[in-house]
Amino acid sequence: MNNKNGYPEVVTFGESMGLLTAEDSRGLEYAAQLRKSFGGAESNLAIGIARLGHSAGWCGRLGDDPLGHMIQKSIRGEGVDVSRSILAEGEPTGLMLRENASGHASVYYYRKLSAASHMTPEDLDEEYIRNTRILHVTGITAAISASGLATVNRAMDIAKKAGVTVCFDPNLRLKLWTLEEARPVLLALAEKCDYFLPGLDELALLYETEDQNEIFARLRQLHAVSIVKGGPDLTYVVEKDNTLEVPYFKADRVLDTVGAGDGFCAGFITGLLRGYTIEEAVRLGNLNGSMVIQAVGDWEALPTDKQVQAKLSNKVHVER
């Protein structure tokens, strides 16, 4: 489902990396096999929106190498527009390794000097952003390089000037920068968006307090509506003079929590596209996130709209 002008309804950009995952509990050092895939918060979100029946464009920068080609083709294969993505010659695609050794999950990044870290505002197609309905950006892109941060700021400025809704997920990654480096940058970006999508644990670090009342008071000073993930079995909606609590959907089983936040954001943004109330959009986000954690993979477990509707209507799966 595209806009009337043929542009995607949602535009996002950021770094997607090759992903190698140790297949057993012995970890990367002793694993006999590694599973190949890819991951990236922004491409995960774009895929999630496409699976829910709406159009999304992903504008990442990849290396002109086998990993870059695999990632670009895979994202395109999920129905996401990658026409503004770049395959940069002589610049490597980033790589991450993941293990779950003895019950402890760890991620190791190899992304210094990656193609995505060379992203600049000149890589942006301004008309592409002006003609979308929602721009989604994350703090990960801001963290990977100074030019990445400049690109995020420029995209937000283009969107705001054109009247495009801006969603911002801080996605705080302390393996990419220190909290002292991240705090002023992420709080400044939160001042520029329409929907701020942090986790409660991230806010405790950014605002330097675990006092929830103080955190919510700080959020009410923002222009944005804040959608706060990670409460005790619920998501909070914090507006200027109102706070809503939207309960989670109970997961039958939890196999992999990676990608849950991206799944939530995809569901929430889809709700906005459909004209849902904030509460209804958050409810869809909660459901989408709960379905993601019941299977393994960064983006592979993102549900289709048919699966979501079946869950909402309690349809029973017929095996044979």
Q: Record the tokens describing residue 76, joined without a space.
A: 């395109």
**Ramachandran angles phi, psi of 257, nearest 5°:** -85, -10
Q: Would you call 125 a catalytic residue per the annotation?
A: no
Reference 136, options 21, 269, 258; nearest CA is 269
Specify whether the CB–CB gap between 10 and 134 falls below 8 A: yes
**Ramachandran angles phi, psi of 95, nearest 5°:** -140, 140
Q: How far apart are CA 243 and CA 72, in angstroms?
A: 40
b/e code 137-167 from CB counts within 10 Å (16+ = b): bbbbbbbbbebbbebbbbbbebbeeeebbbb
Specify whether the CB–CB gap between 169 and 179 falls below 8 A: no
The amino acid at residue 210 is E
Specify whether the CB–CB gap between 131 and 5 falls below 8 A: yes
From the candidates 81, 194, 262, 298, give the one annotated as an active-site residue. Answer: 262
Rg of the chain over all Cα atoms, to the nearest angstrom: 19
Active site residues: 262
